[in-house]
Amino acid sequence: MAKSFDNRDGWIWQDGEFINWNEAKTHIITQGLHYGSAVFEGERSYNGNIFKSDQHTKRLFKSAEIIGIKIPFSESEINQSKFDLIKKMNFKECYVRPIVWRGSSQMGLSTNNSNIHVAIAVWDDWASYFKIEDRIAGLRLITSPWKRPAPDTAPYEAKASGPYIICTLSKEYAEKKGYHDALMLDYRGYIAEGTGANIFFVKDKDIHTPIPDCFLNGITRQTVIEMVKKQGFNLIEKYIKPDEITNYDEAFLTGTAAEITPIQSIDDVKFKTGHNCITYKFMQDYSELVNTVS
């Protein structure tokens, strides 16, 4: 049984100070909890160094701005606090979770007098988001009945807690049916992404990925695009219909938690996996990159 997150040793940074992990509690009557009024980040430290820390902090501030929250700290204070916390926790490899939420000063949907909290937690037991044996064999995905909404229905560029219910519903749907993850289509019926990761397809030297115009343009996605272009692959961002995926040889997910994870099937469409695949090479290249670049 995995360790519960509400009973651990260590520290959490909250609102400018370090507090004991077990004392990092928030009141039940909290606006962020009731209405999903929160934004967060997911980052990874490799060898004591958070990969693209500044970029994640920038996205946190942008997400907050999009949902109307002004973070009461500077970007450099957040960057420094992440670093200090990892050091205090004595971690080298860990997952990093900053979160900003509307507090308890008022309830209801009005945000006029909301107070804002900021916290950072780190943990080292997400060595892999998916089980390592599943990553090697490749994931089995099923198409979710839940769709990524239109840009004027939910703010897709914000990593905001509220809209994550779509991902939770999709993940639950997939797991109940015995799959590892779900493929989400968008409101137009194009392929969008996994429940917590972006998606790529491979056909010879062509790498195709959906246009991020209604889902998060992941930092890993951007890193992988740059990496494969440098290696001479043709990277094409395009709208992809579900019935086109039979044309592809390989498929994989990208995300901070998922890193690069091969996909063995989507519904009844099968893809190549294993050590001779391009995806396998990309996994190794990505691992090298995150361990050398900050």
Burial 28-64 (b: 16+ CB within 10 A, else e): eebbbbeebbbbbbbbbbbeebbbbbeebbbbbbebb
Name which of 67 and 216 has its Cβ closer to ligand PMP: 216
Does residue 253 bind ligand PMP (CB under 6 A)?
no
Q: Which amino acid is at 127?
A: A
Does residue 167 bind ligand PMP (CB under 6 A)?
yes
Does residue 196 bind ligand PMP (CB under 6 A)?
yes
Among 120, 197, 199, 290, indicate the residue that binds ligand PMP (CB under 6 A). 197
- CA–CA separation, 58 and 185 (whole Å): 27
Among 256, 261, 264, 279, indicate the residue that binds ligand PMP (CB under 6 A). 256
Does residue 85 bind ligand PMP (CB under 6 A)?
no
- CA–CA separation, 202 and 235 (whole Å): 10
- CA–CA separation, 240 and 235 (whole Å): 14
Question: Binding mask 22-51 vs ligand PMP (x if CB under 6 A, - otherwise)?
Answer: --------------------x---------
**Could you tell me the smallest distance in angstroms from the CB atom of residue 126 to ligand PMP?**
12
Which among 52, 82, 147, 159 is annotated as catalytic?
159
Does residue 259 bind ligand PMP (CB under 6 A)?
no
Does residue 219 bind ligand PMP (CB under 6 A)?
yes
Does residue 144 bind ligand PMP (CB under 6 A)?
no
- CA–CA separation, 191 and 202 (whole Å): 15
The answer to whether residue 92 is catalytic is no
DSSP three-state, residue 139: strand
Interface of this chain with ligand PMP, residues 270 to 289, rule: CB under 6 A: none
Q: Which residues are paired to 183 by β-bridges?
A: 143
Using CB atoms within 10 A of its CB, is residue 249 exposed (0-12), middle (13-18) or buried (19+)? middle
Does residue 63 bind ligand PMP (CB under 6 A)?
no
Phi–psi pair at 126, nearest 5 degrees: -110, 55
Residues with a catalytic annotation lie at 159
Name the residues that contact ligand PMP, by CB under 6 A. Answer: 42, 167, 193, 196-198, 215-216, 218-221, 254-256
